[in-house]
Amino acid sequence: MKATVIVIGAGHAGLAMSRRLTERSIDHLVLERGEVANSWRTERWPGLRLLTPNWQTRLPGCDYAGDDPDGYMPVTEVAATLTRYARLVGAPVRTATTVRAVRAARQGFDILANDDVISARAVVLAAGACSLPAVPPVADAIPPSVTTLTPFSYRGPAQLPDGEVLVVGASATGVQLADQIHRSGRPVTLASGEHVRLPRSYRGRDIFWWLEATGVLAERHDQIDDLARARHLPSPQLTGTPEPITTDLNALAARGVRVVGRLGRVAGGLAQFSGSLANTCTLADLKMNRFLNRADEWATRSGFDDELPPPHRFAPTHIAPRSPLELDLTTGEITTVLWATGFRPDRSWLAIPVLDRNGHIRHHGGVVTEAPGLYVLGLPVLRTRASTYIHGAAADSEDLANHLRSFLSGGGVLPGPAAALR
Ligand SMILES: Cc1cc2nc3c(=O)[nH]c(=O)nc-3n(C[C@H](O)[C@H](O)[C@H](O)COP(=O)(O)OP(=O)(O)OC[C@H]3O[C@@H](n4cnc5c(N)ncnc54)[C@H](O)[C@@H]3O)c2cc1C
């Protein structure tokens, strides 16, 4: 079987690309191992809401049109939105079709999907950046008496055994889960390493309004000084809730969550936490304030000051003086460890040597230059900082579809580096 282009994955990124290819009359198929929006249906915990406001859930040719633009979408609504979108754009999705291998072939690529081999001149990998939980090696030393979970296996507080919960990781997932579990009445300790602190809103506007207005989200991959670092930055300490709330460490501590430093080691059942929590928090406060300064400067420059409440600053992160450096996991007090230590893509089926030593795909703004005709979409800071979020796929898919079209019309000759950039 043949197709000109195979898109792997029917999440928002694969669907956006499908729309772009249809606009260009490029014949393609979208292969999806589950249903449309599979990751939102099967891999996210039930209480999750987007941390980006509804107005920002923009896909090519389809802006948010609901009656709650400032709300935060529950995960079920995300799945429903993407399902409607797939129908709207007429995406040729083959569901229940698992890609088991992608190999280079004489004329492009061979894709092993279920038990069929499909030949294609180009392949777009839109299989997700967060397909697997990233659990650190220290997990192996957790005593077997303690239940361990990841965001993939966590289904809600009711599933947890009685007792205290240690949430490891204080980025978006960790702060959300620590807050949710604590509200269910359990004691929670949150181990926080490097993190990105942002308020839910500032001067009356959601923080994503500011990130967009100031141009931060539009910063391009080839203009960012330390791109590798930008691509691996922790997600901000933000939560989507029915009513906007801030979930930084101060807010969580005020609600009763115990905050400790980064989990460094577990030895003899003793969990040992870094003593540099105060420094890590000072750095996060500094970076937040740097962004707020930039926001204020932008507001003044753009004549927005009269429309907005005056600038202000948030209290520095307060660290409890007796924050423990060790916790004994064998006493039966802590009964669950929840790894909120990030996610990673699954590239196990990619049989083309384009991965670096950390397993990350080498690409230039989504163009895999070492394998002409291969593209990747839906990764953090792929082409701009907005690429990390759903709405970023609109511009990314447009740019990559243009590149792909010239690749196809050039008879397989890759356009020059300038075309790879924009
Ligand atoms: C917990 C969490 C919260 C997030 N919150 C937000 C948010 O608030 N706002 C925001 O903008 N972004 C958010 N994101 C980030 C981002 O939007 C998601 O990672 C998004 O799901 C990525 O979209 P995607 O289309 O690239 O990948 P996915 O949605 O993961 O879609 C990939 C698809 O590929 C399929 N697939 C994978 N492997 C194969 C295979 N071998 N064969 C066939 N099909 C395959 C999967 O089944 C899946 O349907 C969040 C991410 C996570 C993990």
State residue 244's pLDDT score. Answer: 87
Element (H, E) at 392: helix 392-409
Q: Is the CB of 34 under 6 A from ligand 1?
A: yes
State residue 411's pLDDT score. Answer: 54
To test the ligand 1 pocket, which listed residue (131, 175, 200, 233) has its Cβ within 8 A of the most ligand atoms?
131
Which residues, in sequence order, are CB contacts of 314 under 8 Å at separation 6+? 199, 248, 250, 288
395 CA to centre of ligand 1 in angstroms = 17
For residue 190, list its beta bridge partners: 167, 259
- Alpha-carbon gap, residue 289 to 291, rounded angstroms: 5
- Alpha-carbon gap, residue 90 to 15, rounded angstroms: 9
129 CA to centre of ligand 1 in angstroms = 6
Q: What angle do CA 196, 199, 203 make, to 5 degrees?
A: 140
Residue ID of nearest Cα to ligand 1 atom 30: 128
Query: Radius of gyration (Cα) for the chain, nearest Å?
Result: 22
| pLDDT values of the chain reduced to their tens digit, one per residue, 422 residues | 999 999 999 999 999 999 999 999 999 999 999 999 999 999 999 999 999 999 999 999 999 999 999 999 999 999 999 999 999 999 999 999 999 999 999 989 999 999 999 999 999 999 999 999 999 999 999 999 999 999 999 999 999 999 999 999 999 999 999 999 999 999 999 999 999 999 999 999 999 999 999 999 999 999 999 999 999 999 999 999 988 899 999 999 999 999 999 999 999 999 999 999 999 999 999 999 999 999 999 999 999 999 999 999 999 999 988 889 999 999 999 999 999 999 999 999 999 999 999 899 999 999 999 999 999 999 999 999 999 999 999 999 999 999 999 999 985 444 444 444 44
Residue 234 is classified by DSSP as P
Q: Is the CB of 381 under 6 A from ligand 1?
A: no
Q: Is the CB of 11 under 6 A from ligand 1?
A: yes
Q: Which two tokens stand for residue 269?
A: 């059942």
Q: Is the CB of 42 under 6 A from ligand 1?
A: no
269 sits in the region (left: phi over 0; alpha: psi -120 to 50; else beta) called left
Following CA atoms 384, 386, 392, 398 in sequence, which dihedral angle do they give, to the nearest 10 degrees?
-20
What residue has token string 């580096």? 417
Q: What angle do CA 212, 214, 217 make, to 5 degrees?
A: 45
Tell me which residue of 99, 73, 82, 71 sits closest to 7, measured CA to CA: 99
Q: Is the CB of 378 under 6 A from ligand 1?
A: yes
Which residues, in sequence order, are CB contacts of 362 under 8 Å at separation 6+? 354, 355, 356, 368, 370
pTM: predicted TM-score of the whole model, two decimal places: 0.95
- Alpha-carbon gap, residue 8 to 30, rounded angstroms: 6
* List of E strands, 132-218: 132-133, 147-149, 164-168, 188-192, 201-202, 205-206
To test the ligand 1 pocket, which listed residue (29, 32, 33, 39) has its Cβ within 8 A of the most ligand atoms?
39
